[in-house]
Amino acid sequence: MVEALTAERRRERLSRFAAAMRWVSLALAVAGPVILIGVWLRFEAFAPSVMPGLRLSELLTGDRIGGYAISMLPAAIGMWGFFHLARLFGRFAEGDLFDRDNAVRLRRFAVSLLAVIPAKIVAHALLSVWLTRAAEPGARQLQISVSSTDVVLFAIGLLMVALATVLREAAAIADENRQFV
């Protein structure tokens, strides 16, 4: 009886935590594009830290819109991943822990983490070309950037792929257990 109560309390706690994490994931999904708007409105202030060494001339509205569109390439992948993560936490909050669909959503989140890395590299290179395209020949730039953050992101992505595989197996076992009375 005490064990059953403890298990129920544990599930309730997990449900509350998952519900909170669902909102955090949704907030992170929406935050990316919104923060990028702010960054591109004041890109001159952010440029030295996000694109060091880039010699910027005065940015026109078209430059900012184009830059925002390019920056949205990795951000859109991130959004897609966080929406799947939010849905996953939503299902956890509803009490559906071991479900094949949950494993699919966790795998999609992992794929989004892995896909963001090449997208970031491509976007950075495209941005450097876009922002220096009007400069005189010799001053145009093509920057290729790989940071330690990308390596960490890659490791987390691989870990998530492994966890998704384990969750898929757990879902299969849970499905089999449901066929026992």
Partner 1 sequence: MPIVVTLDVMLARRKMRGKELAERIGMTEQNLSLLRSGKVKGIRFETLSRICNVLECQPADLLTYEPEEPPDG
The least distance separating partner 1 from the CB of residue 109, rounded to whole angstroms, comes to: 32
Q: Does 181 sit near partner 1 (CB under 8 A)?
A: yes
Residue ranges of the alpha helices (H) in 42-99? 43-50, 61-93
Nearer to partner 1, 138 or 178 (CB): 178
- CB neighbours (10 Å) of residue 81? 25
Which amino acid is it at 121?
I
Separation between Cα atoms, residue 71 and residue 109, nearest integer Å: 19
String marking each residue 117-156 x if it binds partner 1 according to CB under 8 A? ----------------------------------------
- Kindly state the tokens that stand for 45: 């202030």
- Classify the C-alpha dihedral 1-17-76-110 as positive or negative: negative
Nearest to partner 1 of 44, 169 (CB atom): 169
In angstroms, what is the minimal distance from the CB of 177 to partner 1? Answer: 9
Q: Is 2 in the site for partner 1 (CB under 8 A)?
A: no
Rounded to whole angstroms, how far apart are CA atoms 168 and 104?
Answer: 8
Interaction of residue 5 with partner 1, rule CB under 8 A? no
Instruction: Count the neighbouring beta carbons within 10 Å of the beta carbon of residue 42.
Output: 10
Q: Which is nearer to partner 1, 152 or 173 (CB)?
A: 173
Query: Binding of partner 1 at residue 49 (CB under 8 A)?
Result: no
Residues that bind partner 1 (CB under 8 A): 176, 179-181
